[in-house]
Structure 1
Amino acid sequence: MDDQAKKTALRGITYGLYVIGTKVGDEVNAFTGNWVTQASFTPPLVVIGVKNDTVSCGGIRESGVFSVNVLEAGQKDLAFSFFKPVSRVGNKFGDVEFYTSTTGSPILTASLSWFECKVVDVVERGDHIIFVGEVVDAGVHKTGEPLTLKETGLFYGG
């Protein structure tokens, strides 16, 4: 296989950039992710990929729930703030406000929209765990264009 061709082809997959949250007990956690896609309309199913050796992956495994916060174009700094661990104080991650709804997973007040899922299936292959979640709640904070990985200047894949 031509490694450069593989990398170029895989980087052609379009990605959004999201803040994915979960909770375990009274603790909440969030990270920036881009492997998110809808897999079914009825029931509404979403698939996410989470690096298998992370605190967040363990949290989703244990709690069986997660939230996906859809970020707005221009919210690159917000996305980047969840690339590394962020301390939670009350209802804030650093200076980012959140609240909880049906699953108890964090919903960012500044996001365009959000949805919460309960895990209905898990696929364990490679260096990421695939969680299939059924959407159990959703909301819209405002209208706008979603943030994409292209806007950040980052590349993923290959």
Structure 2
Amino acid sequence: MDPKARKTALRGIVYGLYVVGTTGEQGPNAFAANWLTQVSFEPPRVALAAKKGSRAEGEIAASGVFSVNFLPTGAKEFAQTFFGPVHEEEGKLGGYPFRLGVTGCPIFEDAVSYIECRVVERLDVGDHVLYVGEVVDAGVHREGVETLTLRETGFYYGG
């Protein structure tokens, strides 16, 4: 198999770019993620891939919960903040205001909408862990706003 062709082909999959919230012993945390998809209508479930061994992946494994914040188009800087470690200061995480949701995970005020999930399945899939989460809460901050995509940012992850 041609590695370049494989990478190019796999990067053709269209992804959103989200800020996923977690909770743990060090308090609220969040990371940028793009491997997310809905996998069931009833019950409502999503699948999320988190990098194996990362702080956030460990927090999801330990707590059994996560939130997904859907960002508005144009929010590249917001998402980019969560590619690295962030810290909580004065009601902000990575400099962005948030509140804790019903799961104890961060819900960002600047998100278009959000979901909160309880983990129902965990699968080791290689260098990432796939979590299937049942949606236990959801909210919309702004209707009719398009959400951020990975392609829009010019970032590449995968392939």
Shorter-chain TM range is over 0.9
Stretches of structure 2 that go unaligned for 5 or more consecutive residues are none
Stretches of structure 1 that go unaligned for 5 or more consecutive residues are none
**Counterpart secondary structure, 2:59:** helix
- Within 2, Cα distance between the matches of 1:23 and 1:57? 10
- Within 2, Cα distance between the matches of 1:25 and 1:81? 21
How do residues 110-149 of structure 1 correspond to structure 2 at under 5 angstroms?
Answer: 110-143=110-143, 144-149=145-150
**Counterpart secondary structure, 2:116:** strand
CA positional deviation for 1:118: 0.2
1:73 paired residue number = 73
Identity of aligned residues (%): 52
Task: Output the amino acid matched with 2:151.
Answer: K
1:88 paired residue number = 88
Instruction: Deviation per CA, 1:60-103: give whole Å up to 9, x if none.
Output: 00100000000000000000011111111142114200001210
- Within 2, Cα distance between the matches of 1:130 and 1:15? 16
Instruction: Deviation per CA, 1:18-51: give whole Å up to 9, x if none.
Output: 0001112571110000011000000000000000
TM-score (norm 1): 0.97
- Within 2, Cα distance between the matches of 1:30 and 1:9? 29
- Residue-pair matches, total: 158
- Within 2, Cα distance between the matches of 1:18 and 1:66? 12
- Within 1, Cα distance between the matches of 2:20 and 2:94? 16
CA RMSD of aligned residues (A): 1.1
- Within 2, Cα distance between the matches of 1:35 and 1:148? 11
- Within 1, Cα distance between the matches of 2:25 and 2:130? 22
Kindly report structure 1 stretches of 4+ aligned residues shifted beyond 6 Å: none
- Within 2, Cα distance between the matches of 1:62 and 1:3? 36
